[in-house]
Chains A and B, each alone.
Chain A
Amino acid sequence: MFKKKLGFLAGVMVLLSLAGYLLCLLVGDSKQLKKEEFLLVTSFYPMYVLAENLTDGVAGVGVSNLTENQTGCLHDYQLRPEDMLLLEHADAFLINGAGMELFMEKVMQKNAALTVVDASHGVTLLEGEGHHHHNHEEEEAEHDGHGHEEHSGNGHVWMDVERYRKQMDNVTQELIRLIPEQKEAFQRASAAYEKKLVKLSEEVALVKNLASGTPVVIFHEAFAYLAESLGMEVLMSVSLDENTVPSPGERAEIIEEIKYHGNVLILIEEANRKYADNIMAETDAKTVYLDPLTTGEENADSYLLGMQKNLDAIRNVLK
């Protein structure tokens, strides 16, 4: 009887393995990548768009985004086997830095050989929401000198065009250092993008004339940078991470703050509009739907377009 059962179990296992194998054949895919001459992996969408622009027309450099373009902010991203693999193949890993890639710390330390390009190096940060303490063991074990002290800062640096330009400079210089033979091509690509960004800066200055001094309540840390670059006064910053909703006390506080100041703008993502509607019903605040630019299409101009759309939205409300 025992042998019969053992045989049965073995049979089940063989069948399941076969079924699994077939499933993988049908649905799965092999992970061996085509070896580009130089593979630059980016951590998430804003960095991907930046890299696409800075490697435009540069031969022998491939850009691949680690997370899907639709992932958004990375706070709770889970790496899949596929992602780990991409990193193994990467020649350099471009991160936003400033604490946005906290989930990657461990992985980056494991692949000590991986060249990490920190776009936010030397960029001054706005103060972040709460102080979070994450993965302490690793932080203490391997303090490699950069980044950690900035973790309590607000990492959504790209939302300020000036800071974004600084990021662009950083990345360009690093890329030239890594691939010196392509120096001219990088400089050409960088200059072309810079030109477009200068134009965007001018737009920012125009909207700033209108928006300067406007009190705002922001519902995404990313908007703090945009508000700052427009000279707006941030009364409150409410964090709407995927897993939390504002507590009743917090909502009351927001409403009181808005009533006290009057003529307040609420900056919020369209997806979270229900929170703003809720507040608008009780106050005279106006709402602007903005895009933190963390997701989007595979389009090299998406940063420029998205930023322009944000500026237009603000202009329309203030007019």
Chain B
Amino acid sequence: MQLFEFLNYDFMKNALLAVLIITPLFGMLGTLIVNHRMAFFSDALGHSAFTGMAIGVLFGIGNTSVSMMLFAVVFALLLNYIRHKNIVSSDTVISVFSSLSVAVGLAILSRNGNFSKYSALLVGDILSITGKEIIGLLVILVITVVFWCVAYNGLHSIGINQSLAKSKGIPVALLDNAFVVLVALIVMLSIRWVGILIINALLILPAAAARNIASNNREYHLFSVMISVFSGVLGLIMSYYLNVAAGPMLVLVASVIFFITFLARRLFHV
């Protein structure tokens, strides 16, 4: 077995490039999602892809990515609004919306027994990504980094204490909404490559693993991005040699790291 044999192929090079863009992105976003206790929120967001696609198909929008993104943004803002209303406990509300959007999507897409044509969305296929789509991902990476530089402190203080953040003059609602919109866009842009079943794991696991051993924000971010990129690259390469789908392999590697760091927590007295 040659170690770098996989680089002989364009589809593996493209997939590797895509992984190198998506994983740092997910590593960064994941830290805030974990801090804001929004793991379930992003999961629901992923599931809304079904409805977005169904709406696109229903209205004959050629490029269903557009309808998926539009729907996800609306869905994210709506969820966020309800989340802050404190009417029912937010996990219940999110679960209701998540189930609803999956059901609507399934109902529309399974008309005429055609669902199997869309089920690729469940697992995703990073191997078929093209150069143009990689550039799209690169653009969103740049946007995210800029957004991070501008808004991170504000968002972080919201995560710690919302009332305190408000009293300090931080535009809480604006920042919070901007953040969920960004998450929605990134999830929809990468869902074709990563898949609905896996996308949330990739968002949450690296950050959760990093949080196990980090004791300040700098460490938290650095470790999260490191773990994310590492899991992505190792998972992709292993999937090549082991003949398994790439997405699940990435998640498996990230999960192993999570458990190791979980056990190592005591080592660092965090």
Contacts and interface: CB of A to CB of B under 8 A. Distances in A.
A32 interface: yes
Nearest to B126: A81
Contacts of A27: 242
A81 B16 CA distance: 12
Interface in B121-180: 123, 125, 127-128, 130
Interface string A13-45: 100110011011101111110000000000000
Interface in A54-82: 75-76, 78-82
Contacts of A30: 1-2, 5, 241
Interface residues of B, number: 58
Contacts of B268: 1, 4-5, 8
B11 to A, nearest CB: 5
A319 interface: no
B241 A24 contact: yes
Contact of A79 (B2, B65, B127): B127
B117 interface: yes
Contacts of B12: 81, 84
Contact of B111 (A4, A103, A130): A130
A78 B130 contact: no
A109 B227 CA distance: 35
B257 A81 contact: no
Contact of B9 (A8, A88, A133, A134): A88
B57 A80 contact: no
17 contacts: A8-B213, A9-B213, A16-B230, A24-B1, A25-B1, A29-B1, A31-B5, A84-B9, A102-B117, A110-B128, A132-B112, A132-B114, A133-B57, A136-B62, A136-B64, A241-B114, A242-B116
Interface of B: 1-3, 5-6, 9, 11-12, 57, 60-65, 110-120, 123, 125, 127-128, 130, 213-215, 219, 223, 226-227, 230, 234, 237-246, 253, 256-257, 260-261, 264, 267-268
Closest 3 CB pairs of A and B: A130-B112, A28-B241, A239-B113
Given A16-B257, A20-B238, 9 more contacts: A8-B213, A13-B230, A20-B237, A21-B3, A28-B242, A29-B243, A75-B116, A137-B63, A243-B119
